[in-house]
Amino acid sequence: MGTTDVVVGVDGSSASWRALRWATVAARLRGARLRIVAAYRVPWLAEEFTAGPDLNAVALSRAEDLVAEMVTMARGAAPSIVVGGLAVCGAPVQVLDAAATGASLIVVGNRGHGGFSSLMLGATGLQLATHAHAPVAVVRGNAEADSGPVLVGVDGSPGAETALGMAFDEAAARRCTLMAVRAFPMPTPHQWMHDEPVDLDGARVRAAELASVRDWVGPWREKYPDVAVQTLVVCGDAASVLVAMSSAAQMVVVGTRGHGGFTGLLLGSVGQKLLHHAHCPVLIAR
């Protein structure tokens, strides 16, 4: 799985504690080091008033206390792994991305202390999933699930190929089934182009899609012969299909970009919808 560090961003919120527990398990399964990182900000009053307590020192002390508490918890839960912690002053996205240089995974909760509580995904998680240089896992839904498959969306794109590789890694580490899902829209007559008619036979289209999925999965099955694999093709919207199926999965894995949508976007619409609505942790592979 590349390098062996798992970096988890924490801020003391309930979501970040859940992210820490999930990241601790992920590091243990990988035999990886776990790095707990708290990005903190100094209150704006520190720039306005020089009298009174040193707010820089206070903010740093609180962040260091939080990290120390979380390091203790992680070491108790997984004595076999190396756990370290760090408190850094700065914006969470930049701090975590820098801390994860060369790491195999960044883990964050789906909500932090900041922003509006009604939002389904915090700004830090969305920005990291969009811009981070390492794969990003956003811990949401049933994060404690230890049964069910690792779910991966495939469409033959380079991003989906990367997702397949990471999904096989995860399934091997978790000793669970991998389910590769291809969701496709049924062609309609108005899609005919010139002298190239579209095949409107549903059974034939489904069989062709299933053959493609097996071709995409085949090389990875040879690399991971001990991973049980299921393939599924479904007529429908990819995001809606994967969200529905995520309720019975340990994790859902998608690439940063698929074949659909605008190529200029850094994170595809399927990934974005999963980050907001999935019922289990979401891994954005890159």
- What pLDDT digit, counting tens, does each position of 46-66 carry? 455 555 567 788 889 999 999
Higher pLDDT, 75 or 261: 75
What was the pLDDT predicted at 57? 87
Closest listed residue to residue 182, CA positions, set 164, 200, 162, 204: 164
What was the pLDDT predicted at 269? 81
The residue count of the chain comes to: 286
Instruction: Give start-end residues of each CATH 3.40.50.620 domain in the chain.
Output: 5-139
From CA 106, how far away is CA 118, in angstroms rounded?
24
Span of 131-140, 186-195, 197-206, 260-269 with lowest mean pLDDT:
260-269
Instruction: Give start-end residues of each CATH 3.40.50.12370 domain in the chain.
Output: 150-285
- For residues 41, 43, 44, 47, the Cα torsion angle rounded to the nearest 10 degrees is -100
For residue 3, the Cα-to-chain-centroid distance in whole angstroms is 17
The second-level CATH assignment, the architecture, of 150-285 is 3-Layer(aba) Sandwich (3.40)
Give me the half-sphere count of Cα atoms (radius 13 Å) on the Cβ side of residue 205. 15
Tell me the three state secondary structure of residue 86.
Answer: strand
Question: Topology of 5-139 in CATH?
Answer: Rossmann fold (3.40.50)
Q: What is the pTM of this model?
A: 0.84
